[in-house]
Structure 1
Amino acid sequence: MSAKKWVLFSVFLGCLIFSLSPGPIHLIQNPTVWELREQLVFLTGACAMSLMVLSMLISVRFEPVNRVMGGLDKAYEIHKWVGIFSFVFIISHWLLEEGAHWLVDLEWIPNPGDLSDGTGFSELEISLFQAGVLFAEIIFYMMIILIGIALINKIPYRFFRVTHKVFPGLFLLLAFHAGTAQMKEHWLSSPGGYLLLILLSIGSVAAVIGLFQKIGNSKRMKGIIDSISIQGEILDLRLKTQDKVLSYKAGQYAFLKFEHDKEPHPFTISSYEENSDTLRFSIKGLGDYTKELKTKIQKGQSVRIEGPYGEFLFEDDSEKQIWIAGGIGITPFMARLEYFSNRGGASKPIDFWYCTRGSLDLQFPSSLDKICKNNSVNLYHLNSDQGEYLSLDLLREKMRNFGDLSIWFCGPKKFREYLIEGLKDYKFDLSKFHYDSFNMR
């Protein structure tokens, strides 16, 4: 499912919760503008919480959730859009609640008086409700700031990570508000109220996991830097796991947390050997963090490894595969080629398109043509310095058609988007176009 479908699913769930609450009946019994506004407050609140619960589930990296969404990288893309739309519903919820009060205070509309159904509430119920409302008012302004930080890409990733850790705590306070707000219209005695409480409980468990920094805890292990080599712009790193062996598949990645930095970063495992305690990571300096990495680490330092993650597994039932790598996007294919080397070569036809700047003998790894030949993989190298670029027409010329094949891509986002748009024109089944994205915000 795409991000759009997950957003629609969450909104549908919020609408379902509202439809099973006393709200629709109250509106039918009292069809006024003020009652409509009151029920829209509840409806937007239910949709906002539904979206936020999904956001919390994604943030804690549950394996079943990642798998359903096509991998952790796709889950983070969905997480971004779910967060954006939850914010839209939170703003709508807040404006519906506060806007009417502003209009009354300005004397633009008459004061409607007491809108309750006349039912008495205990002092405890009133105190809990008022506390929830107070929390919500404070949190709203904090949410504006934090979501703004999350959406402004110019703000450094490490600062974004630190501020993002506040969200689980904010969610718990909003969950308290959503739970106690139900008292106002007796939701707690309706199916909608029960369903909302179940949803809030699921989100709260995920929030507690995030709040106490237990995300990925079962996938963590200790490692040390065994060797470091520099090959051009590539930092070639080998780690040895200490407490256990990492069980993974070729094409997957892991989060690495080095001694000099508090935040883990994702890197593709560029090797594959079963039951080995050695992992290889080939890292190109594309941002501030990766550019400085070779000056910050040294042999023998400890590393926290968390993984594996990813669904870029090269597993499908197509008759042929097309591999496309742009620059350092070569890393998952290196792991798959090593997997083939341990099994006598590829079991199906594979055409590998490697797009770089400069001639093949200057690229990483230096022996790629030999490795591909030994594993019956057809290698095509395109050098952009010589004006050689991969186009869909060139692919089709070599393939003759886009019949029973799958495409596995790892490279720059713009390159990927270009290919996807072109494949749409050729009526290619995009479910057979596989990629990993490391955009974690």
Structure 2
Amino acid sequence: MKPDFNVKIEKSLIDRVIGNITNVIIKQRMSEKKWIIGSLFIGCVIFGFSPGPIHLINDPSRWELREQFVYLTGLCAMSLMVMSVILSLRFERINRLVGGLDKAYIVHKWTGIYSLIFVILHWSTETVPHWLVELNIIPNPGELGDSSGFSELEIALFQSGTLIAEILFYVFIILVTIALFDRISYRFFRVTHKIFPGVFLLLAYHAATAPLKEHWFTSPAAYFLLILLAIGSYAAIIGLFQQIGKSRKVEAVIQNIELHENGILDIRLQTLDKPFLHQAGQYAFLQFAHNKEPHPFTIASSGVNPHILRFAIKGLGDFTKELNDRIEVGQYVKIEGPYGEFKFEDNSERQIWIAGGIGITPFIARLEYLSNQGGTKKPIDFWYCTRGDLDNQFPSSLQSLCEKNGINFYHLNSNKKEYLTIDRLKTTIGNFNNSSIWFCGPGDFAKYIMKGLKSAGFDINDFHYDSFSMR
């Protein structure tokens, strides 16, 4: 029944993939692991209701163990893939459970990584024994399982699903490899990533037909698996037809553009068809007329007027550097969102704000909000870290806004060797008891601050930070 897989994998590719996987696994957080463990648990539960455990009890041989391990790894891989495609949909309720869209993308990445691991385990457990038999290293065990009672349709379905999986194995490895390597351009990554929903649907077909080999449809496991595949297929179809975030999109027009001396593009948009309701600190995806790909930017307005939105964009990449030359007043823009849990909402007695460079944006929105609320109701210490004097930073009214709202403001200029350290924070504000930290800035800066906070015994759950890494 099972076709022999006579294939070779490029060793250098496998080495690079495994090496990259090892590096990222070491850096994984416990908050992400629970979603991985949950996905694996679902796969194991489905296997537990299958005929597999009974087959192992009746025939506890190495070959039967190998046979059932093929099914178990396949189930785990598919469960992880389903979790991955669900997280890619940007559903608000799911994002909240994960801790925000940025955290959902991180879990999405990890489920992809672990699904690759289990796909490789699944493939190698199925294929390597065939190679060993062909090389006469181990004896041929003959046909495993019950080969009776199969219709021609069942045989055709099983064989077609297996053939599709054989081809897609290499496609899947290539796509995940592209996603993992940051050196590959984001533009190319985005194009290739759109193939994933189609790949998932074909692999789901394999997952639905493979259990025919062991009469799974006489057990509850087959129907649990079909429910899982149906959920994943629904999510994949939404992604395949580019319908992600459709209900959260608003049409707007560029009302004003101002380019500041420090290279920050200050854009104001006015919505056309409906208001864009959001809170200070959140972000949205903008799709400009000259580029079909949406890009995430923090909203620099508080949401008091839901028809007017402000964005402060720094030219850091190819897209943002040429943005000023590509847009003009009167052009239409699609806004999708809002996203993010960086809303300055907590039960702490004191907040510490830390901004690095263009990371000032969510704090501008919050300052505008506080100005409309009569100022802050709790102590806030705001640290703004830049390269250059405060007079040359954006916005020019920052210090006066802080004074107006009763916020303690500190500026550090790295050009003068002024750096923010945990010792400096302690010296200025004392201990971190009943305090929360809200950070927006470069990723390396965030890691540095978090490392110092951990050594100081700070509860890292009170450190709030949005990651804009979309891969």
The whole-number CA distance in structure 2 between the counterparts of 1:303 and 1:314 is 27
Q: Does 1:90 align with 2:139?
A: no
Aligned equivalent of 2:237, options 186, 196, 208: 208
SS at match of 1:51: helix
The whole-number CA distance in structure 1 between the counterparts of 2:147 and 2:324 is 69
The whole-number CA distance in structure 2 between the counterparts of 1:25 and 1:69 is 37
1:49-60 matched pairs, under 5 angstroms: 49-60=78-89
Aligned equivalent of 1:324, options 339, 354, 358: 354
What does the per-residue CA deviation read over 1:106-163, in whole Å, with 9 as the maximum and x for residues that have no partner? 1111111111224311111111111111111111111111111111111111111111
> What corresponds to 2:406 in structure 1?
376
> What corresponds to 2:383 in structure 1?
353
Aligned equivalent of 1:101, options 130, 145, 148: 130
Q: Does 1:240 align with 2:270?
A: yes
> What corresponds to 2:15 in structure 1?
none
The whole-number CA distance in structure 2 between the counterparts of 1:80 and 1:349 is 37
> What corresponds to 2:301 in structure 1?
271
SS at match of 1:364: coil
Q: 61-70 vs 110-119, which deviates more?
A: 110-119
What does the per-residue CA deviation read over 1:362-395, in whole Å, with 9 as the maximum and x for residues that have no partner? 1000110001100111111011011100000111
The whole-number CA distance in structure 2 between the counterparts of 1:424 and 1:272 is 32
What does the per-residue CA deviation read over 1:288-311, in whole Å, with 9 as the maximum and x for residues that have no partner? 111111111111111111010000
> What corresponds to 2:159 in structure 1?
130
**Percent pairwise identity:** 64
> What corresponds to 1:343 in structure 2?
373
The Cα of 1:19 is off from its aligned counterpart by 1.7
TM-score for the superposition, normalised by structure 2: 0.92
Contact kept? 1:11, 1:50, Cα under 8 Å: yes
What does the per-residue CA deviation read over 1:314-352, in whole Å, with 9 as the maximum and x for residues that have no partner? 000111100000000000011000000111111111000
What does the per-residue CA deviation read over 1:28-80, in whole Å, with 9 as the maximum and x for residues that have no partner? 11111110110010010010011000000011111111110100001111111
Aligned-residue RMSD, C-alpha: 1.0
The Cα of 1:419 is off from its aligned counterpart by 1.1
1:308-319 matched pairs, under 5 angstroms: 308-319=338-349
Q: Does 1:301 align with 2:334?
A: no
> What corresponds to 1:11 in structure 2?
40
TM-score for the superposition, normalised by structure 1: 0.98
Q: Does 1:367 align with 2:397?
A: yes
The whole-number CA distance in structure 2 between the counterparts of 1:247 and 1:166 is 32
4+ residue segments displaced more than 3 Å: none
Q: 351-360 vs 144-153, which deviates more?
A: 144-153
> What corresponds to 1:173 in structure 2?
202
The one-letter code matched in structure 1 to 2:362 is P
Aligned equivalent of 2:456, options 426, 431, 434: 426
The whole-number CA distance in structure 1 between the counterparts of 2:223 and 2:65 is 23
Would you say how many aligned residue pairs link Structure 1 and Structure 2? Answer: 441
Contact kept? 1:354, 1:382, Cα under 8 Å: yes
> What corresponds to 1:113 in structure 2?
142
> What corresponds to 1:402 in structure 2?
432
Gaps of 5+ in 2: 1-29
